[in-house]
Amino acid sequence: MKITFPILAVLTALLLGYGLYQALVVAPTEQTMGDVQRIFYYHVPSAWAAGLLFFVNFIASIVYLWRRNSKADAVALAAAEVGVIFCTIVLVTGPIWARPVWGIWWTWDLRLTLTLVLWLIFVSYLVLRRFSSSGQTPVIAAVLSIFGTLDIPLVYFSIWFFRTQHPQPVMGNGGSIDPRMLHAFFVNLIAFTCLGVLICWARYRVEILHRQLEETQALESLLEARGSR
C-alpha cells in the first residue's frame, strides 16, 4: 500500500506530461476548428473520469445501503467529491471550446443541460453530506447518488438519438480520426483515469483517518463523562 501509491503518482505524472506533449505537439491541428480543438484532449477525458467516479460512487452507495459498511460510504463520498471536480472541468472547458466554434459560450443543448443537471445533483449530494447532521444522512445521500447516476447514460446517448449542438460521435459511428489524434486522446484518457483514481484514493484515506479520529474523540468524551460521575 505504501509503495503502490507513490508508484501510481509517478506513473500518473509521467502520463500527464506525455499526454500534454501528444496533445500540443504531436497531434495535428484540426482543419476546421484550429488549435482550439486541442481542448478535446482534456475535455473528453475529464468527462470520462467524472463518469467513472460517479459510477464508483453508485456501486459504493449500493454496497452501503445493502451492508451499512462505513468504508463503502467513505468510498462513495471520496468518489463524489473528485467526480464533481472533473465534471466542473468539463463544464468549464466546454464553453471555452464552444465560444470560437459555435459563437456562444453556452446554449441549452441537450448534452450540456444533462451534464449540468448531473453536476447539480452531485453538488447537492456533497452539500447534504457537509451540512446535514442527521444519522440518516448517508442513507439519503446514497439514494440521491443512485438517482443521479441514472443521468450518466442520458448524457452519453443524447447525441446518438437527438439532434444537438454537439457533433455526432467520430469513433464507433462510421467516422474517422487521424491516428496521431487518436493516440493523443487515449494517452490522456488513461492519464486522467489514473489521476482520478489517485486523487480519489488519497481522499478516501483522509476520510478514513478523519472518521477514526472522530470515533476516538467520541470514545474519549464518553470515558471522561463516565469518569466524572
| pLDDT tens digits, one per residue of 79-94 | 999 999 999 999 999 8
pLDDT of residue 162: 58
Question: What SS3 state is found at 110?
Answer: helix
Q: What is the pLDDT of residues 145-194, one digit of tens each?
A: 999 998 888 887 766 665 665 565 555 554 568 899 999 999 999 999 99
Report the run of H or E that residue 75 belongs to, with start and end: helix 70-102
In one-letter notation, the amino acid at residue 83 is G
Domains within the chain, CATH numbers bracketed: 14-26+37-163+177-202 (1.20.120)
For residue 30, the SS3 value is strand
Min mean pLDDT across 2-11, 106-115, 181-190 is at: 106-115
Instruction: For 35-45, give one letter per residue: b (16+ CB within 10 A) or e.
Output: eebbbbbbbbb
- Give me the pLDDT at residue 123, please: 96
Residue of 193 and 219 predicted with greater confidence? 193
Which residues neighbour 180 within 8 Å (Cβ) at sequence distance 6 or greater?
Answer: 22, 26, 27, 28
For residue 59, pLDDT over 80 is answered with: yes
Task: Supply φ then ψ for residue 140, to 5 degrees.
Answer: -60, -40
* Confidence bin at 97 (pLDDT 50/70/90): confident
Of all residues in the chain, what percent are helix, strand and coil, respectively (each to 5)? 80, 0, 20
- Percent of the chain scoring above 70 in pLDDT: 90
- Alpha-helical (H) ranges within the chain are 4-21, 40-67, 70-102, 110-131, 137-149, 151-161, 179-227
| Cα–Cα distance measured from residue 125 to residue 82, given in angstroms and rounded to the nearest whole number | 13
- Confidence (pLDDT) at 188: 96
Which pLDDT tens digit goes with each residue over 7-50?
Answer: 999 999 999 999 999 999 999 988 888 888 899 999 999 999 99
Specify the pTM.
0.88
Q: What is the pLDDT of residue 47?
A: 94
Percent of the chain whose predicted confidence (pLDDT) is above 90: 58
Distance between CA atoms of 94 and 100, rounded to whole angstroms? 11
Q: Quote the CA–CA distance of 172 and 157 in Å, as a whole number.
A: 13
